[in-house]
Structure 1
Amino acid sequence: MIYKPQQISILNDMKIVQVDSGYDFVAILTNNGHVFIASDVKSKWKTNNTFKLINPHYCRFKMIACGKHHLLMLERDGYVFDFGQITGNETSSYERMIQIANLKNIKLIVCGLNHSLSITNKGEIYSWFNTLYNKRDPSLVSFPNNCSARIKDIVAGSNHSLFLFENGQLWGCGSNYNGELGLGDKNNRNLTKIPIENVQQIACSKFQNFSLAYDGSSYYAWGKTKYYEWLTPRKLDYPHSSFASASALLCNSPITFGLCNVKDKLEGFVIFFVDHFFSTVTNSLI
């Protein structure tokens, strides 16, 4: 077991721009558009307990997003590729990338536990499911006519999604079993406005049913926390410097990785913390 951050030497001299993880794998995006993944020996990703480059030399990506068992990659020309459980009638694959049909001019990709979303350059939102028994092609998400502001950000949780607009309004949809939509009850919803204003940033956990928002001065949380279920947004009493700090107060979930950014010494190194899976991976890499 590893109880402190460890440098992964195989990634030396690479500048890391994004890190994300699924249930039993971690994905890394470098500044030159390369994507690496690592998983344990029991995983279907078949990385032999080490990082492997998964994109061909002619493909360059600018964003990645991990679901429970799938990985999305946004190419620099706006096309989206899936690696793992894919959409439509294609056969699931953990050894090759497949371009998702009908998605183009995409500027943002997001993964929840088993669902994915994307935004086009025109602000159009598409969503689709990625489960072993429920694979659907992307479909356009429509908002009520009175919601004319442009989308600023999207985040996806275990079974719900949040949509932040440039005017500070926050909307949500999906599962509300633990109050993760912040509407005062546990009823599932289609797109509904969440009662919190002037929101600047949002976050939610893929593996925990809670949501977070920041209005520029205070952090708010709702859903299932270690203090019970909060069915409406609750302002956090203690000052926090980030969503990571706020979530550490609310749940007992272990941190699995971090991106070190110490100038001249560790810039670009990926570091891991102990948990149920990545202690095995790091032991084989360092």
Structure 2
Amino acid sequence: MDAAISAAHEAPPAVVLVSAGASHSVALLAGNVLCTWGRGEDGQLGHGDAEDRLVPTVISGFDAPGITSVICGADHTTAYSEDEHQVYSWGWGDFGRLGHGNSTDVFTPQPVKALQGIKIKQLACGDSHCLAVTMAGEVLSWGRNQNGQLGLGTTEDSLLPQTIQAFEGISVNMIAAGAEHTAAVTEDGEIYGWGWGRYGNLGLGDRNDRFVPEKVSSVE
């Protein structure tokens, strides 16, 4: 059989994980392969250019072993290598959302040096901010913070990951990021909310923003 025809009929690799941003998507395939598609204007596809991709396209040259997580923000992308204990990020860099210490766009996956060697349980990305839960139950956040969505007690953006001190003595199990607010569940099964609260999105009974995590105390 013609090799080209045979290749065309081969089953594609199994998809392990998928995530979607505002206008792009990323998938982790069996065999530790990452592919991306959609809008590429800000480098969020990781192919070294600003071109869109109309079909899933493998990110060539990215060989970090043991990828266990891929998460999209609105216009940027993150991945975690469990083997290396290393977070990677790429795409639109405004507000420090990539965690590289600046606001520069990045067009290929680059390591977040501030997180080197930290064992990560989970990553989450909002529109322009990111968070990481460590295996020790700590939470780090970085990126845009105009509504307090980083949980650091201010509205200043953070170009580098910072530990959320409000969780000192509290072990966090998981996090979720909305566009401009954040939620967390602790090991004790309690939920916390912070960031933009205009529509009651924090579950705290009002429309106020919160700059540090606050426990949701009631469920109707």
Give the shorter-chain TM-score range: 0.7 to 0.9
**Is 1:150 equivalent to 2:171 in the alignment?**
yes
Aligned equivalents of 1:38, 1:181: Cα separation in 2? 32
Cα deviation, 1:85-132, whole Å, max 9, x if unaligned, reads: 223226202x3111112103222111111110002222221000159x
1:135 Cα offset (Å): 5.9
Partner in structure 2 of residue 83 of structure 1: 90
Change (3 A) 1:123 1:13: same
8 A contact 1:89–1:135 mirrored in 2: no
Aligned equivalents of 1:10, 1:84: Cα separation in 2? 33
> Which of 114, 123, 127 in structure 2 is aligned with 1:102?
114
Change (3 A) 1:184 1:96: same
Change (3 A) 1:66 1:42: closer
Partner in structure 1 of residue 105 of structure 2: 92
Aligned equivalents of 1:40, 1:138: Cα separation in 2? 26
Partner in structure 2 of residue 30 of structure 1: 29
Specify the code of the residue in structure 1 equivalent to 2:193: G
**DSSP-derived class of the 1:51 partner:** strand
> Which of 47, 52, 59 in structure 2 is aligned with 1:54?
59
**Is 1:126 equivalent to 2:134 in the alignment?**
no
1:24 Cα offset (Å): 0.8
Partner in structure 2 of residue 191 of structure 1: 213
**DSSP-derived class of the 1:102 partner:** helix
Change (3 A) 1:23 1:40: same
Q: CA RMSD in A?
A: 2.6
Q: Sequence identity of aligned pairs in percent?
A: 23
Task: Identify which of structures 1 and 2 has the higher relative contact order when contacts are C-alpha pairs closer than 8 Å and 6+ apart.
Answer: 1
TM-score, length-normalised on structure 2? 0.75
**DSSP-derived class of the 1:59 partner:** coil
8 A contact 1:35–1:53 mirrored in 2: yes
Change (3 A) 1:59 1:96: same
Superposition pairs of residues 223-242 of structure 1, within 5 angstroms: 233-234=219-220
